């Protein structure tokens, strides 16, 4: 899951980013509305955690612009959490609304719930004897639990959701890793090697030479 956090309070933004990464998500963090629009135009995010009171471009404008594009789900954050404020945020196109201060486990749960709203990505996906539970971040094969790292699970999740379509290494980088990853590294192939080993035989992941991978 790829998440963009837009929060002008640097310390809070860093804490949110760190907490979501600890929950197994790939997270980018920016501190103003202009940077948010730039990042969203460059990267396909599953969820945008958006502070409402932002510099450069106000959060309301960012929300309206992102909601006009069929893409990321928007979770709006604000210190103003009255009913009218929540209604305003939802009418701007936000998918969910969370007032500050908030319990972090609730933020994580809401982000995961928003990501699951995509019709192509149900909470539990089965491919043959492989089961991937996106909600609980678990996978098993033939009833045997798989011990996967966050990145291995992220790669598996993207491949399963593609439903047989080829997924390029660039797409895996975009959805599983954040903006700090070196795009010229071999991290995707290394992660896939470990994932294949853990999945066992018969092989589930096919390499399509020059194009990517599919399951």
Q: What is the pLDDT of residues 1-40, one digit of tens each?
A: 789 999 999 999 999 999 999 888 889 999 999 999 999 9
Query: What's the pLDDT tens digit per position in 110-136?
Result: 998 888 765 445 567 888 899 998 767
CB atoms within 10 A of CB 70: 5
Of the two residues 61 and 84, the one the predictor is more confident about is 61
Share of the chain above pLDDT 90, in %: 45
Cis check: omega of the bond before 47, within 30 degrees of 0:
no
How far apart are the C-alpha atoms of 35 and 55, rounded to whole Å?
Answer: 10
Please report, for residues 21, 26, 72, the alpha-carbon distance to residue 117 in angstroms, rounded to integers and kept in the order given. 20, 18, 10
Of the two residues 178 and 73, the one the predictor is more confident about is 73
Dig out the tokens for 23 from the structure: 């929950």
pLDDT of residue 67: 84
Question: Which parts of 31-143 are beta strand (E)?
Answer: 47-51, 73-78, 96-99, 124-127, 130-133, 138-141
How far apart are the C-alpha atoms of 25 and 31, rounded to whole Å?
Answer: 19
Give, as one character, the DSSP assignment of residue 163.
Answer: T
Dig out the tokens for 211 from the structure: 């194009």
Q: Which residues contact 125 (CB under 8 A, 6 or more apart)?
A: 131, 132, 134, 160, 161
Judge contact between 198 and 148, C-beta under 8 A.
yes
pLDDT of residue 120: 47
How far apart are the C-alpha atoms of 1 and 171, rounded to whole Å?
Answer: 12
Judge contact between 147 and 198, C-beta under 8 A.
yes
Mean pLDDT of 122-151: 85
How far apart are the C-alpha atoms of 158 and 150, rounded to whole Å?
Answer: 12
Does residue 176 carry a pLDDT above 50? yes
β partners of residue 98? 77
pLDDT of residue 117: 66
Of the two residues 48 and 115, the one the predictor is more confident about is 48
Strands 212-214 and 206-208, bridge-based pairing: antiparallel
Query: What's the pLDDT tens digit per position in 76-94?
Result: 998 765 556 666 657 788 8
pLDDT of residue 12: 94
β partners of residue 141? 130, 144
pLDDT of residue 164: 85
pTM of the predicted structure, to 2 decimals: 0.62
Does residue 197 carry a pLDDT above 50? yes
């Amino acid at each position: 899951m790829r998440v963009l956090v837009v929060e002008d309070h640097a310390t809070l933004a860093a804490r949110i980013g760190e907490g979501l990464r600890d929950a197994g998500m790939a997270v980018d963090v920016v501190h103003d509305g202009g940077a948010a629009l730039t990042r969203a135009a460059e990267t396909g995010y599953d969820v945008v955690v958006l502070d409402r009171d932002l510099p450069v471009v106000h959060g309301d404008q960012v929300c309206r612009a992102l909601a006009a594009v069929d893409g990321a789900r928007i979770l709006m954050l604000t210190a103003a959490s009255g009913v009218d404020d929540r209604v305003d945020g939802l009418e701007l196109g936000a998918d969910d609304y969370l007032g500050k201060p908030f319990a972090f486990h609730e933020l994580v749960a809401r982000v995961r719930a928003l990501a699951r709203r995509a019709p192509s990505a149900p909470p539990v996906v089965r491919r043959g004897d492989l089961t991937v539970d996106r909600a609980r971040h678990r996978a098993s094969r033939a009833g045997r639990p798989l011990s996967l790292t966050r990145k291995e699970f992220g790669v598996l999740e993207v491949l399963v959701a593609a439903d047989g379509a080829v997924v390029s290494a660039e797409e895996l980088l975009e959805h599983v890793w954040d903006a700090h990853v070196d795009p010229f590294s071999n991290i995707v192939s290394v992660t896939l090697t470990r994932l294949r080993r853990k999945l066992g035989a018969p092989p589930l992941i096919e390499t399509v030479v020059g194009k990517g991978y599919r399951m």
